[in-house]
Amino acid sequence: MPYCQHCGSPHLDDATFCPQCGSWVGSVGSLPAASVGAARYAGFWPRLGGWLIDQLIIAIPFNIVTDLLVSYNQPTVTTTTDAGNNVHIHWHGDWLTLGLLLLASTITTWLYSSILQSSSRQATVGQRALGLVITDLDGNRISFARASGRYLATFLTSLTFGIGYLMVIWTKRKQTLQDKIAGTVVIPKRH
């Protein structure tokens, strides 16, 4: 039996509007009875707010530790033009250290996201602060492997120039591209 994506009430398969709240119910699939209270999906703004909180939680300590422990010449790129009007690109600074810092940042963010989203709390600190959890399509806790796949899919989502994130606006379950790829949804926490 399908459930209303707005209030979680059950409705008939051929219903156009929810008998409880009157919202349009369209075909969004069915959630198990245990998920009735969580049939709503998180929208763009709460998800963005959770992401911003998480970025602060990760970035501030990472940058402090990096500034204290890593010393390197800031990489720069300059160009010169010779007498023949040929442009030459010059790479200066410590590009290897910058690459290693970016790799360390990516690994830190991956582990932070995947461990917390696959934990019993089913959310990062930022998501929890806004009352959100991540589940599979049946409302169950996701595994570390699925959370990792969801994180890796964010790179593909980023390649869409933000459209993959904006998909939350028009998809029935308010899923981003990485949610679609990983088979996950973000919902308000059950009380």
pLDDT tens-digit map of 34-86: 444 435 888 889 889 999 999 999 989 888 888 887 777 777 788 888 888 88
Helix locations, the chain, DSSP H: 44-69, 95-117, 125-129, 144-158, 163-166, 177-182
Q: So what's the pLDDT on residue 18?
A: 65
Q: So what's the pLDDT on residue 28?
A: 44
Q: So what's the pLDDT on residue 32?
A: 43
Q: So what's the pLDDT on residue 35?
A: 42
Percent of the chain whose predicted confidence (pLDDT) is above 70: 81
User: Tokens 């994506």 map to which residue?
Assistant: 5
Q: Which of 173, 69, 115 is nearest to 184 (CA)?
A: 173
Do the strands 87-92 and 76-81 form a parallel or antiparallel pair, or are they unpaired? Answer: antiparallel
d(CA 55, CA 28): 31
Beta pairing partners, 114: none
CB atoms within 10 A of CB 153: 19
User: Tokens 């959370």 map to which residue?
Assistant: 147
Q: Which of 45, 38, 49, 48 is nearest to 6 (CA)?
A: 38
pLDDT for residue 175 is more than 60: yes
Mean pLDDT of the chain: 81
0.75 exceeded by pTM: no
Q: So what's the pLDDT on residue 81?
A: 86
